[in-house]
Structure 1
Amino acid sequence: MSEGRQVGYRREIGWFGSFALGYGDVGPNIFIALGVITLYAGGAAPIAFAIAALLYATVGLMYAELGPTYPYSGGVHVYGLKAFNSVVSFVAGWAMLLAYIVCISLFAVAAAGYLRQLFPVLMFPDITVMGVTIPSIGVLAGLLASLLILLNIVGIKYSAFMVSALVFVGLFIEALILSTGFLLKFDPQLFLRQLTEFGSSQLQRDVAYLPFLPVETNNFLYAITLAMASFVGIESISQAAEETRRPHISLPKAAKMVVVVVAASAIAFPVLAIGSTDWRVIAAAYENPIYTLVSTYPYVGELLMPLVALAAFILCYSSSNTGVVGVSRLTASMGRFRLLPAWLQAIHPRFRTPVRTITVFGGIGVGLAFLGDVTFLASVYAFSAVISYLILGFSYFRLRRLETTVYRPWCMPLCVNLRGREVPVLALMEVSGMAVILGLMAVFHAVGRVMALLWVGAGLTFYALYRKRAGMNVLSRDEAALVEPLSYRIRVGVLIRPYENIETAYRSITHSFDRRFDLTLVTVVEPSRWFGGELDKVGEDVVNDLEALEKRLKHDKYVVDRVAAVGEFEEKVSELLESEKVDLIAYIQRRPEKSALEKGHEASIHNLLSKYPGRVISLKRVGE
């Protein structure tokens, strides 16, 4: 293989595999988040989850639009690079990199918590080394995370099939827990009574309290910000964009399905928990809340507990591994766009894995896992992700404004017209909501705030030194040219003959063009072909036919307008092409038996083909 040749990803992930990657990264969050959020939100935990779920839905829908439009591995940092510059791209990617690192540690701790329920012998005393106390769960989590790092260095096959199988397990277990709980344990009166308890009344060490607000209000607001940790991970879909078959179809479908399934799960579990037992019981068991919830079930609780613990351990440990995989993919993407040095992407000669990336960033994750501090890790996890999500929102709006000719296979719904521009309401909600959440985090998350600032500051310093040493500008838009959209919108003028069969025209157009094409339906009425008294009637009929065809195509979400012109065919079509209102002219082929009736017409087509090479195409006639 030549040195300069780049090897691309194999596109082998279908829409369900893409869904599995997104759900597999986000779905297990509820196994740890339920207890942590309830610890702060109290009985109003379902409300905190619902607010976060609404914002999560807007983030997911942004990825559903941007992912297939710019199908590159890397996600938000790629969109930031295309919309702004290399510095914004680096901050977005570096913040998401922190989220992946914390994902390794947080879910290693969660896996350790459920593993101790399966094997109580692992509940050993805390260990003190040189005056520093390491919690026993942290020791176990650190060992689990270390094993993952070793396995990823040696090289493991983490196939889309394996992820899909784990997703089936997760969905089955969650459905079993929810259905059994609502059937046997849920008490609507208990739920309504506890739902009004907004926030825990206990002071918590992780919250920077505002003195002018009650403790309960402080804790509830903190819980809303922390609830974002329940939804970090949907960017895994975009991280695998270059490995996804038919990304223009698979990515939006997968992202929307993940949004629906995860949001429903994240709201159903706290509703069930608050309606089944005292919220303080769930809060006290924040290391294994689902296990504790199931233990309160009558009749089947003891049977389900081992199954739930095993499934939760597998899913949380799998989610920890996706953090390692995410680190590898993200750093590779950032290196590709010259945001990180190539040194990090060095491949081990024997194992063929990015050993330096995994060792450096995975090692940080292992160190954090030894802390065994779920609330601290969840705070940093949410803080880093929200920074990236806010950049995602700003990038979305800027790309919408700048890249007007880009083809977007799917667009966010609920748009309003502001000063002649179409603006999605949900996107406005995402940006404003994330800005508020980030502001609340800056106020309440004292430790997370310091950790995030130190991480971003250290990263920017490293980035600036690397770029200077490599002879590149620190602030640059040169790399944005490397990010090409899937396709651009193409303007096509479709020639419709007078009295053409509208059904045939509709089928021929939809067979040949998808929605990346902006269509202009064109009919030219030539006076020389009609008697004087017929011309007005022909003109009316042509307009009616064009309106009917335009209506059908718009119903199918095509962008369509129409032109009815009177004059010589070749002259009018030439005027349209010269005006640059269309990029191409397309005409529908005639049936062989009718071609003799239009020899003059066909001669004009041949003249246009010669005069405008490459800009006149024929469409297969479909439907007759």
Structure 2
Amino acid sequence: MAEPGDASGASREDGAAASAGSPARAGSPSPSRRVRSEARLVRSLGVPALFTIAGAAIASSLYFSLGLVARDALELTPLAYLAAGGFFAVTVMTYVEGSSLHPERGGAATFARYAFDEFWSFVAGWAILLDYLIVIAIGALAISHHLAAFWPELGRPGTEVAGAAVALVIVVRANVRGLSPGRLRRILWLQLLNGVVLLAVIVVGAVVAAGSTAPTEPASLPIWTDFVFAAIVATVAMTGIEAASGLAGEIRPRARELRRVVAMVAATALVLFLGVSIVALAVTGDGAALGGRYLEAPVLGIVASFEPPALAQGFGYAVGAVAAIVLFVAINTGMLGLSRLVYSLATNRQIPLAVGRLHERHGTPSVAIAGAGAIALVLVGTADLEFLVRLFAFGAMLAFAIAHVSVIRLRFTEPEARRAYRVPLSVGFRGAQVPLPAVLGAVTAIAAWIGVLALSERARIAGLVWMAAGVVLYVVYRRRQGGSLRARETVEPEALQEARPIAYGSILVPVSGGALDDDIVGTAGRLAGEEGEPGEAGPMIEALYVFEIPMALPLDAEVSEERLMAARQALARAKEVGEEYHGVEVATATTRARSAGTAIVEEARRRGVEAIVVAAEEPTRIRGGALLGGRGGARQRFVGEITREVLERSPCRVIVTAPPAPEPDPAPEPAET
């Protein structure tokens, strides 16, 4: 849910290559290394990245919402999901238009900022923040219940909370370290696998139901209030829209691709929602059956009704394993969306900068991520799925109502602004084209929010307390900063990076005997030379030469004299160059490994160095090298394999020295005539 165009300053990828000897510090990113890594990744995936994140929420929501929806809607469960799917479709349209008009991270908060002011932007963002916390908590709680397919004890009270705590710790740690390249691509393949499993459940369930000889029970119809709330609960999948809109500005799809995203996401939601809910009723015979024993793992309840028992057991294992992984991914996706939203709120001075503080090395909002993990664990401790889902509906309907109204208002305030996508079916009103699907979405969301207030006392109290606390925080913070409650005030992303003195007492410098060795040793020498103090031991450069041993040979195979001589010369030159800097000592060493990148990382960890200085790949004339002077489109791996592995796995700061830009080719002499 993004549009063609440049990313915002906070997320723009550094495009220019550093000059020779000029380090690009991966350890203290500005913007963060994580943001640059995400930007490269989502750009390389393009539209599939949007579908992946939205689809992850759709698929994962079935694994914990179906039981509640079926319990309340009974025989009308498919109709409840049909209503939710329709609302999902119009909301996707609204978000795509809003993100294409203002391609900034923030989703509903961004739309409200441009349509109204900062206060309403904060209200929308704070409501979505609540939803992210709840989805993370629900996903963590549901993981244990699905793993109970392998060990029933995991689904019992107490054990479920312990399992959720383990999942949350892993997610928090992974998100503090940042998004690794390739993760979204793996999630995409996982979503395809999950789709295959759910489609198999639908098909096999239909066959089982068709061959069943059990007597048909009379239809059980819900009271209207239960049905309305079931339809609201079914919208829990919509956090994926917010998470996908957080990629705005980092993906540049064309208008045709955006229309394709809308169609794909809406179709996926309708097919899965309707297919699974219809099969659930056909197999179990009563929607209430899924709201009892299998409330937290309803799809397991569906396959448990398959015949023969061996088929049920096989599907139980498959669904349990895939669901646990999908839910874990959904937690990660939720945490990713939360961290990006917190970053947006902090850089717009809507929450204290301390909340959005970036990790010193990883460049992630570690305070917010750790705090979100702790709050989610408290929510998990309630072990009350119904309360959590109803509280989610409170925040979601409020945020979606603001999003729909904002996009409608932007049709009046910015009628001529370029939009890569427009919500269809618009009618003229007072000089503007009003999108009827957005109007329908706004009316539905407002009515649903009022319904939550009227029908759920605990959700009403908890939701209003959360929103009131957020408004107080916003007002007090803005007033103390001497700012306006309505005007936009931004800070540079660097303000979120904690400024600490950087010491380079020991630096690892891998050398290879190449032309860049002098540059990288010189860079290390200048950094180390700044740290020397009279009367103290001098800073140390540790020059390392790695012998890569092919897999065909044992690791202790004899190294040729020619390679040994090259290593000695490279290390001797490194020592000569490094010790030209005052007070710097250079130690030399060699090591053997299958992979030079792995060896560098392991040596850095073993020696406890404070930084690694490496060289980027040389400029290339083939596709993918444009970032460092080559030609052709960008590719994800903008440096060589060794440098990339060091950047991803290093236990310390990494300083990359780029090669000098090549001299331009001389202009051809004019031909004589």
Instruction: Note if 1:49 corresponds to 2:49.
Output: no
Separation in structure 2 between the aligned mates of residue 187 and residue 400 of structure 1, nearest angstrom: 54
Whether 2:184 is the aligned partner of 1:160: answer yes
> Using a 3 Å threshold, how does the CA distance of structure 1 residues 79 and 330 change in structure 2: closer, same or farther?
same
Give the aligned partner of residue 140 of structure 1: 163
TM-score of the superposed pair, with normalisation by structure 1: 0.68
What displacement does 1:453 show? 0.6
Of 207, 210, 226, the match for 2:233: 226
Label 1:269 to 1:437 Cα distance change in 2 as closer, same or farther (>3 A): same
Aligned-partner Cα distance in 2 for 1:249–1:372: 44
Rate the CA distance shift 1:238–1:252 in 2: closer, same or farther, 3 A: farther
- State the shift of 1:415 in Å: 2.2
* 1:177 aligned residue: 201
- Measure the CA separation in 2 of the matches of 1:77 and 1:277: 42
Query: Partners of 1:57 and 1:192 in 2: how far apart?
Result: 34
| 3-state secondary structure, aligned to 1:413 | coil
- Give deviations 1:28-71, integer Å, cap 9, x for gaps: 10111111111111221112111122111110111122222221
Distance of 2:480 and 2:357 partners within structure 1: 19
Q: Is the alpha carbon distance of 1:231 and 1:345 closer, same or farther for their aligned partners in structure 2, counting shifts above 3 Å?
A: closer
Counterpart amino acid of 1:388? A
Residue 296 of structure 1 is matched in structure 2 by: 305
The farther-off stretch of 438-447 and 115-124 is 115-124
Deviates more, 1:106-115 or 1:412-421: 412-421
- Aligned counterparts of 1:354 and 1:421: Cα–Cα separation in 2: 40
Contact 1:96 1:385 in 2 (8 A): yes
Q: In the superposition, relative to structure 1, how do residues 467 and 251 fare at CA in structure 2: closer, same or farther (>3 Å)? A: farther
Aligned partner of 2:326 among 315, 333, 341: 315
Q: Which residue of 1 aligns with 2:135?
A: 103
Is 1:449 the counterpart of 2:460 in the alignment? yes
- 1:153 Cα deviation from its structure 2 partner: 2.6
Please give the per-residue CA displacement for 1:529-551, whole angstroms capped at 9, x wherever unaligned.
xxxxxxxxxxxxxxxxxxxxxxx
Corresponding residue number in structure 2 for 1:64: 96
Instruction: Give yes or no for contact 2:29–2:363 (8 Å, CA) kept in 1.
Output: no
Question: What is the aligned length?
Answer: 455
Q: Which amino acid letter does the alignment assign opposite residue 225 of structure 1?
A: I
Q: Which residue of 1 aligns with 2:347?
A: 336
Q: Distance in 2 between matches of 1:22 and 1:417?
A: 31
Unaligned runs of 5+ in 2: 1-23, 494-673
Larger CA deviation: 353-362 vs 155-164: 155-164
1:111-138 deviations in whole A, cap 9, x for unaligned? Answer: 11101222224345x4xxxxxxxx4423
Local SS of the residue matching 2:427: strand
Structure 1 counterpart of 2:565: none
Deviation per CA, 1:551-602, whole angstroms, max 9, x where unpaired?
A: xxxxxxxxxxxxxxxxxxxxxxxxxxxxxxxxxxxxxxxxxxxxxxxxxxxx
Residues 426 and 479 (structure 1), Cα distance of their counterparts in 2 relative to 1, 3 Å cut: farther
Question: How far apart are the structure 1 equivalents of 2:116 and 2:216?
Answer: 47
Contact 1:12 1:243 survives alignment (8 Å): no
Q: Residue 283 of structure 2 corresponds to which residue in structure 1?
A: 276
Per-residue CA shift, 1:436-475, capped at 9, x if unaligned?
1111111012111111111111011111111112221122
Give the TM-score of the pair, scaled to structure 2: 0.64
Residue identity in the other structure for 1:159? R
Is 2:46 the partner of 1:14? yes
**Residues 136-192 of structure 1, C-alpha deviations (whole Å, 9 max, x = no match):** 423322332233223323445272212212211111111111111122325899999
- Aligned residue type for 2:174: L
Alignment partners' CA distance in 1, 2:29 and 2:176: 26
The CA distance in 2 between the partners of 1:419 and 1:410, in whole Å, is: 22
Quick one: distance in 2 between partners of 1:122 and 1:32?
16
Pick closer, same or farther for the CA change 1:180–1:38 going to 2, 3 Å. Answer: same
Deviations 1:384-414 (A, max 9, x none): 1111000001101110111011111121122
Return the letter of the residue paired with 1:112: S
CA-to-aligned-CA distance 1:213-248 (integer Å, 9 cap, x gap): xxx333223222222224332222211123214365
CA distance in 2, matches of 1:316, 1:439: 30
Q: What residue is the counterpart of 2:475 in the other structure?
A: 464
Q: Residue 579 of structure 2 aligns with which residue?
A: none
Alignment partner of 1:257 out of 264, 274, 278:
264
When residues 357 and 247 of structure 1 are mapped into structure 2, their CA distance, relative to the original with a 3 A threshold, is farther
Partner residue of 2:374?
363
Partner of 2:354, secondary structure, is helix
Aligned: 1:440 with 2:448? no
Q: Does 1:286 align with 2:318?
A: no
Distance change >3 Å, CA 79–CA 192, structure 1 → 2: farther
Question: Relative to 1, partners in 2 of residues 1:93 and 1:328: Cα closer, same or farther, differing over 3 Å?
Answer: same
- On the 8 A contact 2:209/2:283 being kept in 1, the answer is yes
Task: Tell me how large the CA RMSD over aligned residues is.
Answer: 2.7
Structure 2 Cα separation of the partners of residues 307 and 358 of structure 1: 31
Question: Alignment partner for residue 89 of structure 1, among 82, 97, 121?
Answer: 121
Question: Shift of residue 417 of structure 1?
Answer: 3.0
Q: What is the identity percentage for the equivalent residue pairs of Structure 1 and Structure 2?
A: 24
Which residue is 1:491 aligned to? Answer: none
2:434 aligned counterpart, secondary structure: strand
Q: CA deviation at 1:99?
A: 0.5
Query: Which residue of 33, 41, 47 corresponds with 2:65?
Result: 33
Q: 2:411·2:433 contact (CA, 8 Å) conserved in 1?
A: no
Normalized per residue, the structure richer in helix is 1
1:187–1:276 Cα contact (<8 Å) kept: no
Q: CA deviation at 1:343?
A: 1.7
1:454 and 1:252, CA in 2 relative to 1: closer, same or farther beyond 3 A? farther
Matched to 1:106, the amino acid is I
**1:234–1:255 CA contact under 8 A, matched in 2:** no
Letter in 2 for 1:287: E
Over residues 314-358 of structure 1, what are the superposed CA-to-partner deviations in whole Å (9 max), with x where a residue is unaligned? 111111121211111110111222212222232222444321111
Aligned AA (2:268): V
Whether 1:388 aligns to 2:399 is: yes
Tell me, which stretches of 5 or more residues in structure 1 are unaligned? Answer: 127-134, 200-215, 483-624
Matched, 1:238 2:242: no
Between the aligned partners of 2:203 and 2:413, the Cα distance in structure 1 is: 48
> For residue 436 of structure 2, what is the aligned residue in structure 1?
425
AA paired with 2:234?
A
SS at match of 2:419: coil
Which segment drifts farther, 314-323 or 348-357?
348-357
- Quote the Cα distance in structure 1 between the aligned partners of 2:73 and 2:343: 39
Retained in 2: the 8 A contact 1:241–1:251? no
Query: Contact 1:62–1:427 at 8 Å: present in 2 too?
Result: yes
Name the aligned partner's letter for residue 478 of structure 2. R
2:104 match: secondary structure: coil
Relative distance call for 1:123 and 1:160 in structure 2 (3 A) is closer
